[in-house]
Chain A
Amino acid sequence: MKKTALNHAHRQAGATMVDFGGWEMPIHYGSQMDEHHAVRRDAGVFDVSHMTVVDLMGPDSEAYLLKLLPNDVRKLADGQALYSTMLNENGGIVDDLIVYRVGPEQFRIVVNAATRDKDLAWMQEQSRGFDLELMERPQLAMLAVQGPNALEKVKSALPATLAAQLDNTKPFHAVWEGEWFVGRTGYTGEDGVEVMLPEDQAETFWNTLLAADITPCGLGARDTLRLEAGMHLYGQDMDENVTPLGCGLGWTVRKTDNDYTGGEALQAQREAGVPHKLIGVVLEDRGVLRPGQVLIDSEGREGLITSGTFSPTLQKAIGMARVPRDFTEPVRVKIRNRELPVKVVKLPFVRHGKIRIET
């Protein structure tokens, strides 16, 4: 199994380690629930060094990304980031990612760990005919520091010049110095930063964060936090069989043109009608929603829970589901031998520490 530079530090912090897509990663350090609340109420740190960082440079970088991505990197000023999917020719989602503009001809992309090999192959294949260089950066560690107090607390651990710039760094913007790169981004629905740094400095940085009273958090809490925040997980809420239009990510697709890989397929789908949509659901009864459970609507149409869990903030089960476009309430979920009513809600469930749905 692959190990991050913080493997030893996780064990010292009492982590239970699991196999996560070939990486040995912490699932929790005692209580997933406590870690979740720490991020909603204070500050937590996640090791996300397993994620794949790719630097892109060369005169055709922007033109290449306009082809590779359905979102619009022309909108990005230097230091600004956006979220996008990456599509195949059929409009199916190869992966989702964050792209930062570092300069006029330079970008940094962060993709998922589990899809690394196919992503790099696809990015390489799509780069044919463009004058640019793609360079993976496996020697960078990545830590996400998240929560209402994350920005204040992380400053003490950052190089002074970066700490000083942090107050003027807006959400979805980044600052950097040498190999340290700090983006005000995350996957929890809270304020915070994602810090990339040389892996030989990661353990010292981690220890400074813990000394600043930031709670170490595992991938378990990361999943409940992102689901409460209504954020998609690749391989569950989206994959190559669904387009961004069919899973609630239409907002990440530019409207100006269809000149990106998968663009024609999306246009055809718009004209024919998108077959699916993504909805948020809340279980009113006791129980837990899980991926794979079947939803049934008023007309007997069926949908599928793609992500489900018990929400520590709502103290109820929540989920995201892929359903036919005309799916209508009332909706029930099949759990083992029972059918229980669920309420359809607008995402997100929780953002910035507050419940955003009516309960």
Chain B
Amino acid sequence: MSEVHPLFHQPIADHSFSADRSLLAVSRDTKVELYKRSGSGFTLQDELAGHDKTVTSVDIAPNTKKIVTCSQDRNALVWEPSPTGWKPTLVLLRINRAATHVRWSPDETKFAVGSGARVIAVCYFEGENDWWVSKHIKKPLRSTVFSLAWHPNSVLLAAGSADAHARVFSSFIKGVDQRPEPTAWGERIPFNTVCGEYINSSGGWVHSVAFSPSGNALAFVAHDSSVTVVYPSAPEQPPHAVLSVTTQMLPFVTLCWTREDQLVAAGHDCHPVVFEGSMEGWRLAYSVDDPRKSASSGASHESSALNMFRQMDLKGKSSADDTNLKTIHQNSITILRPYEGRPGNITKFSSSGVDGRIVIFPVKG
């Protein structure tokens, strides 16, 4: 069964769980709220207030437990736990547009920030000066970067952008990174090397990108309701396969891999969909929380006697109102994240939506 947590009635742009899943960070307007697991629910524990415009993304590093946030105020903050509470450090991003997306690298020494300024700021800590500095990936980005995803080797970085491209860059920083093992994406890869560039055939915005658990495939979702999986062959060579699945649904805006042969995507249709496949081909396998199968409306979790009588009074009907969607999420899903299981075998994933809910779904519908 899926766990539903209606937190508040504001959109959730991004959410992140700590490694032990006891702490949940949720962006809410200009703040980030920290919830602690208590029994079957979450209780508000702390609030990170440091941005003065909408917070667009938040990420908790699993091991160091540092939290990085970014916002439309063009800043990113790194929050460290201290005896007196969470201590923020401002990061010099040097961008002149909103920051849109932030993610820690798997080894947690770097993080990348996407922005509307057509740059990706790759940030790392400079011990000498005791601050976070950033290096920009600029070319050939032509528009706002919506999402970023790290390869397991912490050097390759995928970006999806409004110029209809999903790209794979090298974010190798001398002195911070070890030279990575050669992969199908590239062997010798200095900073800002473009290791792959894939256009969405109908020119739709690329909303989200993700590397497969092994890092040997890249998936992205675009505004033409499609999911595309790319299998690279060798550096500088055309890929083995670029497999696109177009669906009957509204566009997806987020995706997450669960296994090497399975991924979940969700978006404006308010319920997640599972895709399965391999280099031979991909297909839509099944829906999680399928609205056609659920009898009751998802809003029943919040229904009350008061609502029922209000319905009868205002609209003169006694049945549940039909303004609610039949899915658990009552509005678009913004972010999917793995929740339980190991990379390559995720059994549960979490989602956040514009309806202010966090839902934890089992992958098996």
Say if A and B assemble together: no
